[in-house]
């Protein structure tokens, strides 16, 4: 015992001298010396590719008339018209954009360390170009969604940041162009198979075209798209495979952030669950809207209310092929079952063993089956069940078909309508039909030179081609269509018993009559509703103020009056 | 069994003999007087024959007469005086003078790095004895503190098995950052009060003012809680066993509307939002009318599920066993205790088990020269829960969804959200928490008056957690063979079997060297001084690993999982502090007391130039009652001391951020294509801002108070008024999102807290009935003085200059028509958006971008400070009674006044578009189907989804008075007469019944306990039966 006591006393005496307090962080690096070596720069640049900086608009399809969520508006104030500066969807976009901007500024501010350390200029410019590309994309989104915003391109102190006012979006747009131009100049067109694929020259042109188009600068948009088109991108042969989980890098994908289950970067699980049919264990809640189904042209190139080919009792027949590749056609196989939402179809076929099982995708069986009878097909295949609900579908930000349509749209708006414009649209359309652009006998090619007609054609083409690719919201905003279509009702089927007696048993299924389509390609179901053949789901509400999102309350509060909100908030 | 019967026989025999004896013994008549130390008679003093209940009470003249058996001892007692035992022998007249009992004043109070007699205290220290905490029978020590001490606020929001208090605040808050008090157990810093077994607690002192706490310098700004554990004494060895069994029953659970009303109200909500679509948008008229009827014949399509009844048990059993052994001699004294707790939950699959061992040993190696102590404590807790916490969904899921199909299979619930199925089959989450603490000290006294003490105390804290999440699914209604879907809850789809394991390994070592000097000279001068050094080193490492898509579910080990889906992560941190401190105490004739402390602290958390802080304090006391001019008041004023203190305290605790002064590159991962493969590469970015000159925050505190006892120490009053001012507050300042960084910690802002604490105690005896009443009441107000010019707004909370700390922030409702009654009102007022209409909550247009109302309700310009979030007038108290072998105690606690808020969980119908509808809404919400009169008195807005962002925005519409009174505990005990139990060798046998959290009174809506959290485990009433046996 005595020994223990003396040991303790001795230990106390030794430890009694001051223990050093300079402790280095155990699992982090210091920013004071970063950006000096190639490895450090590479890691800093890698940061720009984190999915969270890019996918904030992934749910935006559900803010549009392409989607129906049960009999209510999907959980966002956007469709209820009740957006404020405290709405998550808005300030989240703002936050994510500025986060990436600060990462890029940090690299651009400090890369001189590497230059001073003797790194060759080509490498330095490559790193800079990646930062410029990312920064330009984020400012592009900001000025499109929020209008004038603070422009920050260097590190600011807190005091400086709180002084920022809003900068004219035209001024910012010019800076966005400058960044894209620098990026396009210094980024490679492609990467070798052993190299990690970073931003490319083509992506810089394409994204530049997108923001120019969004801001109505047709000249720049057309020029940038044309530059991109020179780079040799091609369209995938089969439209339906582009979006599948198993389809990896293909030539059509210009800018993509991959996902990986083994790296725990996956598609939002709710997206997976809500998109899948109930027979396959999903919720069938993010469903394509009737508006979207009505929007596809018939194979004669005419809208459904003009085409003799359209049959409202068989709405999938004779439609543009992208219709059934986007929306599940009734009576076809989907996710291992024959899909049939009819209230009479209480049983359906399970394809694995060809047995008849209760049909969870009929509302007569399951009250939460698709309320409007439609299901999303685009991008969905049985691989979605393998690691359900984990899914490693790519997040595609830009694909070549979009570039072609942007080129066409910009040229049409410029009034520079030539063969290249028709060729761009028709290349996209022909691929949908699985034929060559020249085989006009096999698909309804777009013809004519009238600006208004072609404007309509390219807009409907965008809707058919790009549905569920997070582009519809921006299109509605920039075409000033939001205040029209986002103030319409969602239409859904009658409740199962009524649907059976009033629609199915009377031979009206699926639609009792053909909805009319207006000059904007927007369907009108009011006659159907008046006839008692459908019911209204949610009422969408879009006040004009929502053409611009509100500046986050948080930043206005800290700005000491330097930031004022957009009109109406 | 045999032995029991044997003892019973002996017990019966003993009882018979006892009765016989009391009849047979001869009696002597005894008379006498009882006087006090001044020779004045003591009326009402008890004179008892020792070991019996026979006795009498003295009259006004202090005289008594009593029949006493020959050879018996009599005990004379009077409150405030020491008991006196007298053997009358042959005397028949006695003159008895009682000596005053100064125990109350001589009571030793533990202060930082030492002890002091209560009468010599100059700082503000509240103390409670272990037995007063033990009586509450809580599993966690922190919960037992609730209401026990003035100025100590303990909050909780659940009574889950093994859970302790949610937070402890000493004298309110001192900073926007961490206001958790420093916890010191037997002189050494620990991270949680709950590592100590309540039964092992000798006393708890709370150092409230700067004078008392500044010896802990940089860590003490939020107050210090000192726990002293029981030690052995030089007495015969004794062993004590306590066992108790009991049950936990929820105090409250919110009710929901009945099934038919749910259907009707759901339809009404959809109709309100979209009238053109008709009234029966979700449920048909037939469903609404006949659901209950159809349920009889077709429960699968028309389920009526009572989720609560299905998932919850009526009560949760619990038990506790404790054994302690203590005793010792001149050279070794020891106390060992071992306890076991086993608490089940209100639902199956959850259980908390805990072992605690503590051994405290004192050694005298050379008498008066060399002493040593060696203490070891071990705690092992096991907390097993279901992966799925049921309460949120149990309260939310409406009855219209099926938990099981008619044949008992797990049903679909709401599209896979089946809380019952998940609770049953989603796997378990088990965590083991092990703490091993040791403390060794030796004390050497080289010369008289001087002692040198060295202390080393290592503490090892190891936790591991194993989460085995199991895939769980339902089959479709009409076919047991057909997979319906995976169950989901809380945002998780239980679609695969995943195992994840976590390990946290941390340890810390405290080393102290203390030098004490105490000298009394010239009779009246009493000087003591202490100087010390302390080093604290802490290291922590985390490790976690998981694999996914297990095929087998019976082997919860990582090796068994597929190699394709394995993940792991780990990190670590380190911290060191060094401190020098000293104290001088001077006492002149027990009248004038002076104390000064200083501490100099250095912390690794700050950069070199900003690392050290110095925290001084001074305090003085004047024992007025010792003055000669106070002699005349001695008869009623037993003691009076005035106190004053001033000092500075520090705070450096900013959570787990150990390098706030360094701009760090955070590592992450990003994915890239390489050819057509996807590969992950490391990324690096500075994500947070760093402030290089970050340093201590300082709280300066002033305290004025007095301690007084009256009427022979029967009445005790302590009062303190204090004012605290915190400057250079460490906090996360809000920075614009556009900076792109997470908010930094920095020294920004000042706040002040003013308050007072009052403690009252009364104890007395009437014959052989003893009783005591004590109560405490305290109040404080914390005001933000400065937050670097800019408000800090975080959701519904604001820090604004001149306003309450953490004040409520939101819209102001229109006073005249809080709910829009007419379209005209709607048209003539500013609104948050155009969807807002009749039946919605109506706000005031306060301002606009130009400083005047702008006709629009906006979050930037129309929100105002709505009031103080913190409670006012907290109180607590207890009443204890004893009569012969019986004892009883009543403990209560409450909050006088508090602004409470009705959360959306309490009042929002159809949360997430399907949630249940709280019953309190029915008949009390604005509805187009009501009369105008009904609507004018409606408490709640119309049913609407599109107006959620308006109606449930944070505003004073949802505020109400949230004060409450709670009966914390009632205990009844009976100690069998020693004469009876000693026959079988038992020194003491006590049986008791105890009830905790029996009831509360508040204005909370029906079904909501004033303390319970919205989605958490309920607050429970505990009913216990126990016995304690001492040999």
Interface test with A, best of B740, B793, B857 (most A CBs within 10 A): B740
Tell whether A12 lies on the interface with B, counting CB pairs under 8 A: yes
**Which range is least confidently modeled, A343-352, B86-95, B450-459, B696-705?**
B86-95
The arithmetic mean of pLDDT across residues B673-685, rounded, is: 93
Contact call for B681 and A262, based on CB within 8 A: no
Between residues 80 and 139 of chain A, which touch chain B (CB distance below 8 Å)?
A: 80-87, 91, 94-95, 98-103, 105-106
CB contact under 8 A, A15 and B689: no
- Report the SS3 class of residue B501: strand
Among B478, B578, B858, the residue with its CB nearest the CB of A19 is: B578
Residue pair B997/B159 in contact by the 8 Å Cβ criterion: yes
Give the residue from B271, B480, B671 with the most A CB atoms within 10 Å of its CB, the best one to mutate: B671
pLDDT tens for each residue of B534-563: 999 999 999 999 999 899 988 999 999 998
Report the C-alpha gap between B924 and B947 in whole angstroms.
18
Q: Does the distance separating the beta carbons of A47 and B685 come in below 8 Å?
A: yes
Interface of A with B in 272-301 (CB under 8 A): 273, 278, 281-283, 285
Q: How far apart are CA B113 and CA B530, in angstroms?
A: 8
**CB spacing of A34 vs B686 below 8 angstroms:** yes
Contact indicator for A99, A37 with CB cutoff of 8 Å:
no
Give the per-residue pLDDT at B148.
86
Nearest chain A residue to B735 by CA distance is A158
The pTM of the full predicted model, rounded to 2 decimals, is 0.84
Radius of gyration of chain A (CA): 27
Q: Considering only residues 711 to 750 of chain B, which have any Cβ-Cβ distance to chain A shorter than 8 Å?
A: 733-741
pLDDT at B3: 42
Is residue A80 helix, strand or coil? Answer: helix
Mean pLDDT of B408-421: 93
Mark yes or no for CB contact A49/B671 under 8 Å: yes
- CA pair distance B970, B938, nearest whole angstrom: 40
Query: How far from each other are the two terminal CA atoms of chain B, in whole angstroms?
Result: 20
| Residues 349-368 in B contacting A (C-alpha not used; CB under 8 Å) | 363, 365
Cα separation, A152 vs A154, whole angstroms: 6
DSSP state of B609: G
Is B285's Cβ below 8 Å from some Cβ in A? no
Is pLDDT at B405 greater than 90 in this prediction?
A: yes
CA distance B218 to B215: 9
| Complex ipTM > 0.90 | yes
Chain-chain contact of B572 with A535 (C-beta, under 8 angstroms)? no
Does B949 sit within 8 Å of A84, measured CB to CB?
Answer: yes
Q: How many CB pairs under 8 A join A and B?
A: 354
pLDDT band at B113 (very low <50, low <70, confident <90, very high): confident
In this predicted structure, the answer to whether residue A340 has a pLDDT above a threshold of 70 is yes
The lowest-confidence range among A433-442, B262-271, B972-981 is B972-981
SS3 B786: strand
pLDDT for the residue numbered B177? 74
Cβ distance B495 to A392 less than 8 Å, yes or no, reads: no
Closest partner CB to A98 (pick from B571, B686, B737): B737
Are B858 and A387 in contact (CB < 8 Å)? Answer: no
The sign one gets for the Cα dihedral B386, B392, B394, B399 is: negative
On the question of pLDDT at A14 being above 60, the answer is: no
Q: Are A541 and B946 within 8 A, CB to CB?
A: yes
Structure-model confidence comparison of residues A245 and A13, the more confident one? A245
Cα B123 from chain centre: 24
Output the pLDDT for position A8: 47
Compute the distance between CA of residue A153 and CA of residue B106 in angstroms, rounded to an integer: 70
Residue B676: the pLDDT is 87
Q: Do B684 and A43 touch (CB under 8 A)?
A: yes
The residue among A291 and B278 whose pLDDT is bigger is: A291
The C-alpha atoms of residue B134 and residue B339 are separated, in whole angstroms, by 13
pLDDT of residue B431 exceeding 90: yes
In 3D space, the residue among B508, B580, B456 whose CA is nearest the CA of residue A10 turns out to be B456
Closest CA to A129 of A119, A117, A121, A118: A121
Residue A160 near chain B (CB below 8 Å): no
How far is B565 from chain A, CA to nearest CA, in Å? 6
Distance (Å, rounded) from C-alpha A444 to C-alpha A426? Answer: 9
Which of 390-419 (A) contact B at CB < 8 A? Answer: 392
Yes or no, beta carbons of B496 and A102 under 8 Å apart: no
Mean pLDDT for B1013-1021 is 91
Nearest Cα neighbor of B135 from B1030, B888, B967, B771 is B888
Is B620 in contact with B647 (CB distance < 8 Å)? no
Rounded Cα distance, B116 and B109, in Å: 5
Q: Which distant-in-sequence residues (6+ apart) come within 8 Å of B164 by Cβ?
A: B140, B141, B142, B143, B156, B192, B193, B194
Q: What does the longest C-alpha to C-alpha distance in chain B come to? A: 112
Q: How many helices (H) and strands (E) does chain B have?
A: 15, 52
Residue B220 Cα, gap to closest chain A Cα (Å): 20
At A285, is the pLDDT very low, low, confident or very high (cuts 50, 70, 90)? very high
Closest approach of A456 to chain B, Cα-based (Å): 31
Interchain contact, B790 vs A30, CB within 8 Å: no
Chain B residues with CB-CB distance to A278 below 8 A: 485
Give the three-class secondary structure for B341: strand
Calculate mean pLDDT across residues A400-421.
97
The residue of chain B nearest to residue A194, with distances taken between CA atoms, is B674
What tokens does B787 get?
């937050």
**pLDDT above 60 for B19:** no
Instruction: Give the burial class of B491: count Cβ atoms within 10 A of its Cβ; 0-12 exposed, 13-18 middle, 19 or more buried.
Output: exposed
Map residue A11 onto helix, strand or coil.
helix
pLDDT band (50, 70, 90) for residue B26 = low
Measure CB to CB from residue A16 to each of B513, B611, B735 and give the nearest one. B513
**Dihedrals φ, ψ of B443, to 5°?**
-125, 125
Q: Do the Cβ atoms of B1024 and B246 come closer than 8 Å?
A: yes
CB atoms A87 and B949 under 8 Å: yes
Chain A nearest-CA residue for B860: A553
Q: What pLDDT, on the 0 to 100 scale, is given for residue B483?
A: 87
Residue A462's pLDDT is what?
97
Q: What is the pLDDT of residues A132-158, one digit of tens each?
A: 999 999 999 999 999 999 999 999 999
The pLDDT, as a whole number, for residue B64 is 87
The mean pLDDT of B859-877, rounded to a whole number, is 93
Which residue has 């807190």 as its token pair? A158
B63-69 and B74-77 beta bridge pairing: unpaired
Contact B450, B516 (CB under 8 A): yes
CB A86 to CB B859 under 8 A? yes
Q: CA of A139 to nearest chain B CA: how many angstroms apart?
A: 11
Residues of A whose CB is below 8 A from B690: 31
The residues near B764 (Cβ < 8 Å, ≥ 6 apart) are B79, B714, B770, B771, B772
- Is A356's Cβ below 8 Å from some Cβ in B? no
pLDDT above 90 coverage of chain B, percent: 62
**pLDDT score recorded for residue B98:** 82
Tokens 């010396």 identify what position? A33
Tell me the pLDDT tens digit for each residue of B154-202.
Answer: 888 888 998 888 888 898 887 777 788 999 999 999 989 999 999 999 9
Q: Look at residue A171 and give its three-state secondary structure.
A: helix
Tokens representing B585?
A: 């105490």
* Closest partner CB to A103 (pick from B374, B488, B685): B685
Res. A536 pLDDT band, cuts 50 70 90: very high
Query: Quick one: CA dihedral B951, B953, B955, B958, positive or negative?
Result: positive
Mean pLDDT of B904-932: 93
CB within 8 A of B94, min separation 6: which ones? B30, B31, B32, B33, B86, B88
**Cis ω on the peptide bond leading into residue B78 (within 30° of 0)?**
no
Model confidence at B884, in pLDDT bands (50, 70, 90)? confident
* pLDDT, mean over chain A: 93
What pLDDT does B601 receive?
Answer: 92
Distance from B454 to chain A by nearest Cα, in Å?
5
Q: Does residue A165 sit at the B interface (CB-CB below 8 Å)? A: no
Mean pLDDT of B54-63: 81
């Amino acid at each position: 015992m005595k020994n223990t006591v003396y040991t303790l006393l001795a230990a106390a005496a030794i430890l009694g001298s001051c223990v050093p307090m300079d402790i280095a962080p155990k699992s982090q690096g210091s920013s004071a010396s970063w950006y000096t070596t190639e490895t450090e720069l590479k890691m800093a640049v890698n940061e720009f590719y984190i999915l969270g900086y890019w996918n904030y608009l992934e749910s935006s399809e559900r803010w549009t008339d392409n989607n129906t969520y049960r009999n209510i508006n999907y959980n966002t104030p956007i469709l209820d018209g009740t957006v404020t500066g405290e709405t998550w969807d808005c300030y989240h976009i703002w936050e994510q954009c500025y986060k990436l901007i600060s990462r890029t500024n940090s690299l651009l501010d400090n890369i001189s360390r590497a230059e001073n350390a003797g790194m060759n200029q080509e490498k330095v410019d490559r790193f800079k170009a990646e930062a410029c590309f990312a920064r330009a994309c984020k400012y592009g989104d900001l000025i499109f969604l929020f209008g004038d915003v603070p422009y920050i391109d260097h590190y600011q102190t807190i005091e400086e940041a709180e002084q920022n006012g809003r900068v004219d979006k035209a001024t910012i747009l010019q800076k966005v162009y400058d960044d894209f131009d620098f990026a396009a100049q210094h980024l490679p067109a492609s990467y070798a198979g052993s190299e990690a694929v970073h931003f490319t020259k083509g992506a810089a042109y394409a994204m530049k075209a997108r923001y120019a188009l969004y801001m109505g600068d047709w000249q720049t948009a057309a020029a940038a798209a044309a530059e991109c088109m020179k780079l040799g991108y091609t369209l995938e042969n089969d439209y339906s495979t582009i979006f599948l989980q198993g389809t990896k890098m293909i030539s059509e994908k210009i800018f993509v952030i991959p996902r990986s289950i083994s790296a725990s970067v996956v598609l939002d699980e709710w997206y997976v669950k809500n998109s899948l049919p109930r027979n396959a264990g999903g919720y069938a809640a993010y469903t394509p809207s009737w508006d979207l189904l009505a929007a596809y042209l018939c194979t004669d190139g005419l809208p459904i209310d003009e085409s003799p080919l359209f049959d409202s009792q068989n709405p999938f027949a004779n439609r543009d092929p992208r219709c059934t590749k986007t929306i599940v056609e009734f009576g076809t196989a989907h996710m291992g079952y024959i899909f049939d939402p009819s209230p009479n179809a209480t049983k359906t076929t399970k394809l694995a063993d060809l047995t008849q099982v209760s049909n969870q995708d009929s509302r007569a069986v399951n009250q939460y089956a698709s309320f409007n009878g439609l299901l999303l097909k685009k991008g969905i295949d049985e691989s979605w069940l393998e690691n359900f609900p984990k899914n490693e579908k790519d997040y595609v930000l830009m694909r070549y078909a979009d570039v072609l349509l942007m080129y066409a749209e910009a040229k049409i708006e410029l009034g520079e309508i030539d063969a290249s414009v028709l060729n761009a649209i028709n290349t996209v359309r022909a691929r949908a039909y699985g034929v060559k652009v020249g085989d006009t006998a096999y698909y309804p090619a777009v013809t004519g030179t009238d600006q208004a007609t072609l404007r309509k054609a390219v807009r409907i083409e965008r809707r058919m081609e790009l549905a569920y690719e997070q582009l519809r919201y921006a299109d509605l905003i920039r075409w000033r269509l939001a205040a029209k279509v986002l103030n319409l009702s969602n239409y859904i089927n009658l409740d199962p018993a009524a649907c059976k007696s009033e629609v199915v048993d009377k031979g009206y299924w699926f639609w009792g009559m053909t909805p009319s389509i207006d000059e904007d390609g927007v369907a009108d179901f009011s006659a159907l509703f008046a006839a008692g053949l459908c019911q209204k789901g949610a009422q969408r509400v879009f006040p004009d103020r929502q053409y611009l999102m509100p500046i986050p309350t948080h930043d206005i509060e800290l700005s000491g009056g330097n930031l004022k909100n957009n009109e109406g908030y | 069994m045999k032995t029991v019967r044997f003892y019973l026989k002996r017990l019966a025999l003993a009882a018979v003999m006892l009765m016989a004896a009391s009849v047979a013994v001869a009696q002597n008549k005894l008379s006498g007087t009882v006087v006090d130390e001044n020779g004045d008679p003591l009326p009402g003093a008890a004179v008892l024959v020792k070991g019996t209940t026979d006795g009498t009470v003295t009259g006004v003249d202090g005289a008594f007469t009593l029949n006493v058996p020959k050879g018996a001892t009599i005990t004379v007692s009077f409150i405030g005086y020491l008991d006196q035992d007298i053997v009358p022998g042959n005397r028949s007249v006695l003159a008895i003078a009682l000596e005053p009992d100064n125990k109350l004043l001589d009571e030793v109070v533990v202060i930082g790095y030492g002890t002091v007699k209560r009468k010599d205290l100059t700082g503000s220290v509240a103390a409670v004895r272990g037995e007063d905490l033990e009586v509450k029978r809580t599993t966690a020590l922190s919960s037992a503190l609730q209401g026990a001490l003035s100025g100590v606020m303990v909050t909780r929001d659940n009574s889950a098995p093994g859970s302790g208090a949610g937070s402890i605040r000493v004298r309110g808050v001192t900073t926007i950052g961490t206001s958790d008090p420093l916890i010191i157990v037997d002189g050494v810093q620990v991270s949680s009060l709950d590592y100590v077994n309540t039964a092992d607690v000798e006393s708890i002192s709370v150092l409230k003012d700067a004078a008392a706490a500044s010896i802990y310098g940089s860590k003490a700004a939020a107050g210090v809680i000192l726990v002293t554990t029981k030690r052995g004494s030089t007495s015969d060895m004794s062993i004590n066993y306590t066992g108790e069994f009991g049950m936990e029953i929820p105090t409250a659970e919110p009710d929901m509307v009945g099934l038919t009303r749910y259907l009707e109200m759901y339809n009404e909500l959809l109709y309100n939002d979209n009238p053109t679509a008709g009234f029966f948008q979700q449920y048909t008229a037939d469903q609404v009318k006949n659901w209950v009827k159809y349920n009889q014949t077709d429960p699968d399509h028309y389920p009526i599920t009572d989720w609560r009844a299905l998932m919850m048990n009526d009560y949760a059993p619990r038990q506790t066993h404790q054994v302690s052994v203590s005793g010792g001699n001149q050279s070794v004294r020891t106390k060992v205790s071992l306890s076991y707790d086993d608490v089940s939950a209100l639902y199956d699959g959850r259980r908390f088990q805990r072992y605690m061992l503590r051994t405290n040993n004192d050694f005298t190696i050379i008498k008066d020269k060399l002493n040593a102590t060696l203490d070891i404590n071990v705690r092992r807790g096991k907390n097993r829960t279901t992966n799925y916490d049921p309460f949120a969904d149990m309260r939310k899921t409406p009855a219209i969804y099926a938990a099981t199909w008619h044949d008992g299979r797990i049903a679909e619930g709401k599209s896979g959200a089946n809380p019952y199925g998940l609770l049953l089959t989603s796997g378990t989450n088990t965590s083991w928490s092990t703490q091993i603490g040791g403390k060794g000290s030796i004390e050497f006294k080289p010369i008289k008056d001087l002692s040198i003490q060295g202390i080393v105390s290592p503490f090892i804290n190891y936790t591991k957690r194993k989460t085995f999440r199991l895939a769980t699914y339902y089959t479709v209604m009409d076919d047991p063979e057909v997979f319906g879907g995976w169950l989901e809850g809380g945002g998780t789809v239980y679609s695969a079997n995943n195992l994840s394991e976590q390990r946290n390994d941390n340890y810390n070592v405290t080393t102290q060297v203390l030098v004490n000097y105490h000298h009394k000279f010239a009779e009246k001068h009493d000087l003591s001084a202490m100087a010390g050094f302390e080093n604290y080193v802490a290291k922590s490492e985390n490790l976690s690993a998981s694999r996914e898509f297990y095929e087998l579910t019976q082997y919860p080990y990582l090796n068994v999982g597929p190699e394709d889906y394995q993940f792991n992560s780990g990190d670590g941190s380190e911290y060191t502090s060094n401190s020098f401190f000293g104290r001088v105490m001077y006492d002149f004739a027990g009248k004038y007391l002076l104390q000064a402390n200083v501490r100099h602290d250095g912390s690794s958390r700050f950069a070199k130039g900003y690392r050290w802080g110095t925290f001084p304090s001074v305090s003085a006391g004047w024992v007025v009652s010792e003055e000669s001019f106070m002699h005349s008041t001695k008869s009623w004023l037993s003691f009076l001391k005035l106190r004053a203190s001033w000092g500075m305290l520090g705070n450096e605790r900013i959570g787990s951020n150990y390098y706030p002064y360094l701009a760090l590159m955070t590592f992450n991962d990003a994915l890239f294509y390489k050819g057509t493969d996807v590969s992950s590469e490391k990324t690096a970015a500075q994500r947070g801002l760093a402030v290089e000159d970050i340093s201590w925050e300082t709280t300066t505190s002033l305290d004025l108070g007095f301690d007084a006892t009256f009427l022979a120490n029967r009445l005790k009053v302590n009062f303190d008024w204090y004012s605290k001012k915190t400057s250079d507050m460490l906090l996360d300042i809000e920075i614009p999102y556009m900076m792109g960084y997470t908010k930094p910690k920095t020294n920004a802002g000042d706040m002040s807290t003013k308050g007072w604490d009052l403690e009252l105690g009364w104890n007395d005896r009437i014959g052989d009935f003893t009783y005591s009443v004590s109560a405490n009441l305290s109040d404080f107000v914390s005001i933000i003085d400065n937050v670097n010019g800019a408000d800090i707004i975080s959701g519904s909370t604001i820090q604004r200059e001149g306003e309450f700390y953490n004040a409520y922030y939101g819209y102001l409702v229109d006073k005249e028509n809080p709910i829009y009654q007419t379209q005209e009102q709607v048209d003539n007022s500013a609104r948050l958006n155009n969807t807002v209409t009749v039946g919605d909550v109506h706000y005031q247009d306060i301002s606009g971008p130009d400083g005047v109302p702008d006709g629009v309700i906006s979050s930037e310009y129309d929100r105002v400070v709505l009031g103080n979030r913190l409670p006012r007038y907290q109180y607590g108290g207890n009443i204890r009674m004893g009569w012969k072998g019986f004892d009883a105690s009543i403990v209560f606690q409450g909050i006088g006044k508090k602004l409470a808020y009705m959360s959306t969980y309490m009042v929002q119908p159809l949360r997430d578009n399907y949630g249940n509808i709280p019953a309190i809404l029915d008949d009390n919400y604005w509805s187009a189907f009501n009369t105008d009169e009904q609507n004018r008195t409606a408490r709640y807005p119309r049913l609407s989804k599109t107006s959620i962002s308006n109606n449930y925005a944070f505003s004073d519409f949802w505020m109400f008075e949230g004060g409450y009174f709670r009966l914390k505990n009632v205990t009844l005990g009976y100690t069998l007469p020693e004469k009876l139990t000693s026959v079988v060798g038992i020194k003491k046998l006590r049986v008791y019944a105890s009830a905790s959290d029996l009831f509360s009174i508040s204005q909370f809506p029906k079904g909501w306990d004033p303390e319970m959290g919205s989605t958490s485990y309920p607050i429970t009433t505990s009913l216990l039966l126990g016995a304690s046996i001492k040999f």
